[in-house]
Amino acid sequence: MIAFLIKRLMHAFVVMFVISVISFAIQSNLGDPIQQMVGQSVPESQRAELREELGLNDSFLVQYGRFATNALQGDFGYSYFFNEPTTEVIQRHLPATLELVIAATLIIVVFSVPIGVYCAIRPRSALSRFFMSVSIIGISIPVFLTAIMLIQLFAIGVDFSPFPVDTGWGQWLNGVLSTEGGMPSYGRGNDLTHLFGTWDSNFFSLDGLTYLVLPAVSLASIMLPLFIRLIRAEMLEVLQSEYVKFATAKGISLKRIYFVHALKNTMLPVITVGGVQLGTMVAYTILTETVFQWPGMGLMFLEAIQRSDIPLIVTYLMIVGLIFVVTNTLVDLIYGLVNPTVKLTGKPA
């Protein structure tokens, strides 16, 4: 266990090192940060002065050396745009992203397990077919499109009237197709609950939760169908296995077979995939946060790219790398707990 953790720690260091070198290497292609900082009519001499001041004229090795030395001491530099240490900027944006990911994860867990199990138990029922076809659509629509559709339906509202208004059924049909809107379409709202430090939460007030719903649903929209299909497929396989057949023959109640014996074995691969997907979800927050103007790390990162805010970009990439390493480590640990036959250190048993 300890050996495993130490190995993972070294793993993390290597990942961070590689990320920092790569992001530093591409910075010259990200554009000139000076261009973003000065007005159009500022003469070249002024720009050169500023460039020198920021150390942008030094060679790659000198710049990287300076960065690495400082980074090892926990100093990742100043954001050009926020005029603050990048770690502080990220700390401020991190809670919003984490809350979004947590909310999306909750949605995924709450819906994917029962629906997936149901679809496996009753594979031929009409409802199962319906879930399956909807999930196909869900997988194939890009996140930002889902987000824009949600905004149109639930924030702006749709006034649909192709059917005759003077008849009862026409009015009813129009009513079904139209929506009122009214959900908030951007930001986190004003009614945040302060937890600690830079963490303001959306989870503790009704107003906060309404702001959370649409972004969380669109973020979940990609993963939810994926998990439904995964759970269904795994469950189907487990239900075909010998021990389930044996248990059925022994007369154990179906409920117990489905939800205790089968589900447990179904969840193993789901946890592995889930852990990896959690990291991916952090990447998807970039799209969701942009559409909903959710003030988290994803939006911050995209804007940092537009502003060529190199120190902030590098720090963000390193932190996301760290999140990947940490979630993968956790997944491996949980996997070991759920299935004790798995050997973490990979030594021969």
Partner 1 sequence: MIDKKTLLASLLGASVVLPLPALAQDSASDSDPVTLRMAYDADPVSLDIHEQLSGGILQLSHLTHDPLVRWTKDVKFEPRLAADWERIDDKTMRFTLRDGVKFHTGNDFTAKDVVWTINRLKRSADFKAIFDPIASATAIDEHTVEIKTHKPYPLVLNLATYIFPMDSEYYSGETEDGDPKDEIVKNGDSFASRHSSGTGPYEVVSRQQGVKVEFERFDDYWDKDSPGNVDRLVLTPIGENATRVSALLSGDVDFIAPVPPNDLDRVRADKNVELTTMSGTRIILMQLNQKRVEAFEDPRVRKAFNYAVNQQAIADRLMKGFATPAAQLSPKGYEGYNDSLEPRYDVEKAKELMKEAGYEDGFSVSMMAPNNRYVNDAKIAQAVATMLSRINVDVDLKTLPKAQYWGEFDDRAADIMMIGWHADTEDSANLFQYLTECPDPETGAGQYNAANYCNPELDEKVAQANVETDRAKRAEMLQAVEKALYDDAAFMPLHWQDLAWAAKKNVKLEPVVNVMNFPYLGDLVVEQ
76 in contact with partner 1 (CB under 8 A): no
User: Applying CB under 8 A, which of residues 151, 278, 286, 314 lies at the interface with partner 1?
Assistant: 151
Q: Which of 217, 185, 221, 191 is nearest to 203 (CA)?
A: 191
152 in contact with partner 1 (CB under 8 A): yes
77 in contact with partner 1 (CB under 8 A): no
Question: Which amino acid would we find at residue 289?
Answer: E
Helix (H, G, I), strand (E, B) or coil at 66: helix
27 in contact with partner 1 (CB under 8 A): no
For the chain, how big is the Rg over CA atoms in Å? 25
70 in contact with partner 1 (CB under 8 A): no
Contact 100, 212 (CB under 8 A): yes
183 in contact with partner 1 (CB under 8 A): yes
Q: Which of 308, 246, 230, 222 is nearest to 38 (CA)?
A: 308
DSSP category for residue 192: P
Distance between CA 130 and CA 137 in Å, rounded?
11
66 in contact with partner 1 (CB under 8 A): no
User: Applying CB under 8 A, which of residues 3, 35, 69, 326 lies at the interface with partner 1?
Assistant: 35
User: Of 269 and 295, which has the nearer Cβ to partner 1?
Assistant: 295
x/- map, 187-226, partner 1, by CB under 8 A:
x------x--------------------------------
* φ, ψ of residue 114 in degrees (nearest 5): -60, -40
User: Of 241 and 306, which has the nearer Cβ to partner 1?
Assistant: 306
Residue count of the chain, please give it. 349
DSSP category for residue 315: H
x/- map, 99-138, partner 1, by CB under 8 A:
----------------------------------------
User: Applying CB under 8 A, which of residues 4, 17, 64, 78 lies at the interface with partner 1?
Assistant: 78
314 in contact with partner 1 (CB under 8 A): no
* Half-sphere exposure (Cβ direction) of 142: Cα atoms closer than 13 Å: 6
Distance between CA 193 and CA 201 in Å, rounded?
5
Size of the site for partner 1 (CB under 8 A): 50
23 in contact with partner 1 (CB under 8 A): no
User: Applying CB under 8 A, which of residues 12, 16, 21, 37 lies at the interface with partner 1?
Assistant: 37
Q: Which residue has the tokens 């990742």?
A: 76
Question: Which amino acid would we find at residue 66?
Answer: R
Distance between CA 21 and CA 322 in Å, rounded?
15
The footprint of partner 1 (CB under 8 A) covers: 29-32, 35-44, 46, 49-50, 53-54, 78, 80-84, 148, 151-152, 155-157, 181-187, 194, 290-293, 295, 300, 303, 305-308
